[in-house]
Structure 1
Amino acid sequence: MTEARRNNRTWQPDWRLWVFCGLLLPVLLGLAGWQLQRAAYKQQQLDLWQQGQETRPWGTLDATGLVTGQAVTVDGVYAEPTWLLDNRTRDGVAGYEVLTLFAPVSGVPVVVNRGWVPAPAMRSQLPVLPQPAGQVRVTGRLSPYPEPPVLARTSVSGAWPRRVQTLTRAAAQAESSGVAALVLRLADSGQPGAFRADWTPDRMGPQTHYGYAVQWLALAIVLLLLTVRASFRPSPTESNNDHTHG
């Protein structure tokens, strides 16, 4: 009897269900594709970062052709604008990454990521940030501006240093026009003006994005399978027979 009922199921799609599937399926596939693109991009950046490259003077680089991972040396002075990138942890301790505008002797201005500092106990307090006076030479590698979290906003006003959830190039350009398209991460904690600079290129590597892509793709497949399965229903004759025998 069970086998007969299974064979008597016919294709009876519900247009409302298929409209829902048609709207949601492209979104899930799009998210999977976007995560794959992010994974490929992160892998490319990681490969560039790990390559042993010659350290080049900042003034000799073309500002329009900067490459992530390039090692550079810059002579200049730290400027006043300093952003505290919020919600950064080290060893389970909350803190900030310190990004300061740097005015080079030669070349375009650049934002320097000086490393991590712990946050004070009170949220209303900001960390004390000693800054070298006069001209210094710093060495580091170029990296993208920090990725913003969802719905993050960049503060555009206030005293320095300024606490922010993210920092875009546009926000940096509001303080210094022509600022470089990439950030300079100091090579180590021994650099002038550095704090704790013991980071890796990116904490969210390509494998994480591949995992997210698989999850979105799996959801898309499950959605399609469930929609197809729900479109096969018992035939009207079978339903009437069930009511009659009941």
Structure 2
Amino acid sequence: MSVWLAAAAGISLTAGLGVWQMGRADQKQAARAELDARARAPAWTGADWPCEGDPQSLPRHQPVRLQGSWWHARSVLLDNRPMNGQVGFVLVTPLRVEAPATCRGRVILVQRGWLPRHAQDRTAVPPWPQPEGAVEVVGRLDTDVSRVYALGEEPMPGPTQPVIRQNAPVSFWAAWLGESPRPGVLVQVQSELSDAARDPLRRQWPEPDLGVDKHHGYAAQWFGLSALLTGLTVWFQIIRPGRQHKVRNHDNAR
């Protein structure tokens, strides 16, 4: 009886974990559908962008169309960012926008695009467009600029250009700009230049991976283990003893 109880517990546990993983996959699929629906919503302008708040609460993938002027002197290159199999930099430039009367922040961070890194000289960065005056920037909303794992804190940069860093957290931007930018970041998806062919910045940003396939894979593993436990239990507790009993009866009959 203890074998049956142990088998039932194991089968219930593994099947339950499979069901739980399927539920997580359904949640991620619903989140994916929400992102896709949001991407079709009307574009935000500077007046729609929140003045403050938790960036994690922002509606990711919300389309945005901002008008403002670039703050080129405070551009930052984020290092070790691959794109299409190449290693390079993600360029982040603050954009000065018209702020509502109730909003003190006039700066929104823009993840403008990607540039390749020189194979021998890390600081040899290709030139990028630096248009002056008013521009219109089209993109989508995200919660933060690109981040990678890094050990320790990076010091504040000196006056030399270009500024290359592994990461640029909110605390860095507050010190670097002399003011806190508004929450979130605009991920630019098309060039602001009238002649887009002259723009060397690449913008093949990866779509967010919500891990739906991962949960499906885990669920398949748990359901497979549950089926294996069921099969082994039936074999060793029912089929095999039954066959042995028939063999013994046959031998006794002889």
TM-score w.r.t. structure 1 length? 0.64
Instruction: Specify every segment of 5 or more residues in structure 2 that has no aligned partner in the other structure, as ranges.
Output: 158-162
State which of 55, 60, 69 in structure 1 corresponds to 2:62: 69
> How far apart, CA to CA, are the structure 1 residues paired with 2:190 and 2:110?
12
- For residue 125 of structure 2, what is the amino acid of its counterpart? P
Contact 1:140 1:186 in 2 (8 A): yes
SS in 2 for 1:157: coil
SS in 1 for 2:213: helix
Moved more, 232-241 or 26-35: 232-241
Q: Quickly say closer, same or farther: Cα 1:16–1:61, change in 2 above 3 A.
A: same
% identical equivalent positions: 10
**1:182 equivalent in structure 2:** 184
**2:207 equivalent in structure 1:** 203
Correspondence 1:161 to 2:164: yes
TM-score w.r.t. structure 2 length? 0.62
Report Cα offsets for 1:184-232 as digits up to 9, x if no partner. 122423449x7524436x53577xx543333222222112222223333
Correspondence 1:12 to 2:17: no
Contact 1:155 1:162 in 2 (8 A): no
SS in 1 for 2:36: helix
Deviation, 1:115, is 0.8
Q: Quickly say closer, same or farther: Cα 1:49–1:25, change in 2 above 3 A.
A: same
**1:4 equivalent in structure 2:** none
Moved more, 37-46 or 230-239: 230-239
**1:34 equivalent in structure 2:** 24
**1:94 equivalent in structure 2:** 87
**1:3 equivalent in structure 2:** none
- For residue 64 of structure 2, what is the amino acid of its counterpart? A
Contact 1:73 1:140 in 2 (8 A): yes
> How far apart, CA to CA, are the structure 2 residues paired with 1:34 and 1:181?
29
Q: Quickly say closer, same or farther: Cα 1:220–1:234, change in 2 above 3 A.
A: closer
Report Cα offsets for 1:95-140 as digits up to 9, x if no partner. 3322234443525332201111112213744634557386543412
> How far apart, CA to CA, are the structure 2 residues paired with 1:27 and 1:82?
45
> How far apart, CA to CA, are the structure 2 residues paired with 1:75 and 1:148?
22
Say which structure is richer in strand. 1
Q: Quickly say closer, same or farther: Cα 1:191–1:77, change in 2 above 3 A.
A: same
What's the Cα RMSD here? Answer: 4.4
> How far apart, CA to CA, are the structure 2 residues paired with 1:98 and 1:61?
21
Contact 2:7 2:233 in 1 (8 A): no
Report Cα offsets for 1:14-39 as digits up to 9, x if no partner. 749956973x6666555443343333
SS in 2 for 1:203: coil
SS in 2 for 1:226: helix
SS in 2 for 1:213: helix
Q: Quickly say closer, same or farther: Cα 1:227–1:180, change in 2 above 3 A.
A: farther
Figure out how many residues of one structure are paired with residues of the other and give that number: 222
> How far apart, CA to CA, are the structure 2 residues paired with 1:126 and 1:39?
42
**1:43 equivalent in structure 2:** 33
**1:80 equivalent in structure 2:** 74
Moved more, 64-73 or 40-49: 64-73
SS in 1 for 2:225: helix
